Amino acid sequence: MTERRVPRPRRFLVCEPRHFAVQYAINPWMHPGRPVDAGLAREQWRSLVRAFEDHGHTVERVEPVPGLPDMVFAANAALVVGGRVFGSLFHAPERRPESEHYDTWFKTAGYDVYRPESVAEGEGDLVWTGRYVLAGTGFRTTPEAHREAQEYLGRPVIGLRLVDPYFYHLDTALFVLDDENVCYYPEAFSPGSREVLRRLYPRAVLATREDALAFGLNSVCDGRHVFIAPQAGALAARLADHGYVPVPVDLSELHKAGGGIKCCTQEIR
List residues with catalytic annotation: 169, 263
Inter-CA distances, 125 with 115, 141, 246, Å: 15, 6, 23
Q: Using DSSP, how many helices (H) and how many strands (E) does the chain show?
A: 7, 15
Query: Beta partners for 80?
Result: 85
Query: Beta partners for 189?
Result: 162
Looking from the CA of 40 toward its CB, the CA atoms found within 13 Å total 11
Sorted by sequence, the CB contacts under 8 Å of residue 133 that are 6+ apart come out as 79, 81, 126, 127, 146, 149, 150, 153, 155, 156, 157, 158
Q: Write out the DSSP string of 18-34.
A: TT----S-SSTT--TTS
